[in-house]
Amino acid sequence: MFILNWVKYYTKETAKALKIISIGAMLILSVVFIKYKPAYAVTLAGQELGYVKNKEKLEAKIQNYMEDTSGNVAFREQLVTPEYELKLVDKNKKFTEKQVQLAIEDSAITMYRIYAVTIDGNVQTTVSTEEQAKTMIDNMRAELDSNIELNAGIIEQYTMDYKIQTEEEAVQILNGIKMAKISEYNTAKEEKRKAEEASKIISTKTVTNVGTIAGISLARPINGTITSRYGARSRIRSSAHTGLDIATSTGVPITPIAAGTVTYADRKGSYGNLVIVSHGNGIESYYAHCSKIYVTVGQKVEKDTVISAVGSTGNSTGPHLHLEIRQNGTPLNPENYLY
């Protein structure tokens, strides 16, 4: 009977104690939840980014961002995985979901897909779509002469640095290349025309050696009538004549006095259209007032090469060849060697 009474008493007291403990725990939890709230502390590479209320919701947003390949995004890769730790934090502490989300997104590597337009194997501009690049190349080809070769291509590129030209900038760049191609083609075409025109000229003059200078055998550039001699003075000149004027018809072909290299082939002041040929040993010859020039600078010429045609350009009163022979820059009298 004693034992039974003791058990009843103990059970009653235990229940009372448990009730008190339960009430105390509830009071403690109530105080905790009044002052604190559960949240996930998010860290990335050991650095705490902030607190979020809903871990699953944040992870879903990050996943959507990683899978978003809109625009020119090729793919994204998260190199460092964020870590989450459930904590009780002060209720006055604000959640920073957006800040945490942006920090995680910024830590990801984003690769962009762009399209480069190449000309002759060199990248000239980059655009956002392959269609843009193709249209620009097609437009260039449509505006170029069919004889102008355009070695253009499109390269798909992947880059972390998303920098492309606007369509206006890209078109401007390609227009510059197009104009350069046209200019290059026209220059080559003109040079070819001159060469063909010169090759059609048949000189009736027989190249005959008539003298030498500094060991160089000389021939007359044209046949004609001497109208002004070396050293002569006249009202159309400011100083003594430095050459020999030989008059003949416009268009008569002119050949050099000796083989050499063309060092000048363009218009030059009172000389008009002028060709200068260097023959070595300090000897140069000048052919002025030409109506046409058939050679270019750097071209090698022989005695029978037609270099120009008689004309009356520059300071001239009629068609003739003004011929000068210079040795180390000093004019010599051509009559002493040729006429």
Residue 228: what pLDDT? Answer: 87
Instruction: Please check whether residues 248 and 323 belong to one and the same domain.
Output: yes
Instruction: Please check whether residues 44 and 154 belong to one and the same domain.
Output: no
Instruction: Please check whether residues 173 and 278 belong to one and the same domain.
Output: no
Do the domain assignments include residue 71?
Answer: yes
Do the domain assignments include residue 103?
Answer: yes
Instruction: Please check whether residues 240 and 139 belong to one and the same domain.
Output: no
Under the banding of pLDDT at 50, 70 and 90, the label for residue 205 is low
State yes or no: pLDDT of 314 exceeds 80: yes
State yes or no: pLDDT of 11 exceeds 70: no
Instruction: Please check whether residues 157 and 265 belong to one and the same domain.
Output: no
Do the domain assignments include residue 13?
Answer: no
* % of the chain beyond a pLDDT of 70: 84
Q: Last residue of a domain, which of 167, 199, 231?
A: 199
Residue 236: what pLDDT? Answer: 59
Do the domain assignments include residue 25?
Answer: no
Instruction: Please check whether residues 214 and 233 belong to one and the same domain.
Output: yes
Instruction: Please check whether residues 95 and 162 belong to one and the same domain.
Output: no
Instruction: Please check whether residues 117 and 80 belong to one and the same domain.
Output: no
Mean pLDDT of 175-195: 86
Do the domain assignments include residue 274?
Answer: yes
State yes or no: pLDDT of 37 exceeds 90: no
* Most confident by average pLDDT, 156-165, 186-195, 304-313: 304-313
Mean pLDDT of 184-193: 85
pLDDT mean across residues, the chain: 85
Residue 235: what pLDDT? Answer: 63
Instruction: Please check whether residues 183 and 225 belong to one and the same domain.
Output: no
Do the domain assignments include residue 280?
Answer: yes
Residue 7: what pLDDT? Answer: 43
Under the banding of pLDDT at 50, 70 and 90, the label for residue 200 is low
| 59 vs 25, residue with greater confidence | 59
| Predicted confidence (pLDDT) per residue in 122-142, tens digit | 999 999 999 999 999 999 999
- Total structural domains within the chain: 3
In the chain, the amino acid numbered 211 is G
State yes or no: pLDDT of 195 exceeds 90: no
Mean pLDDT of 243-254: 93
Instruction: Please check whether residues 193 and 215 belong to one and the same domain.
Output: no
State yes or no: pLDDT of 28 exceeds 50: no
* % of the chain beyond a pLDDT of 90: 55
Do the domain assignments include residue 26?
Answer: no
Residue 202: what pLDDT? Answer: 53
Residue 18: what pLDDT? Answer: 58
Residue 245: what pLDDT? Answer: 94
Q: Last residue of a domain, which of 107, 137, 167?
A: 107
Mean pLDDT of 226-238: 76
Q: What is the domain extent for residue 327?
A: 209-336
Q: Last residue of a domain, which of 68, 83, 107?
A: 107
Instruction: Please check whether residues 186 and 213 belong to one and the same domain.
Output: no
Do the domain assignments include residue 7?
Answer: no
Which CATH number goes with the domain that contains 244? Answer: 2.70.70.10
Instruction: Please check whether residues 228 and 332 belong to one and the same domain.
Output: yes
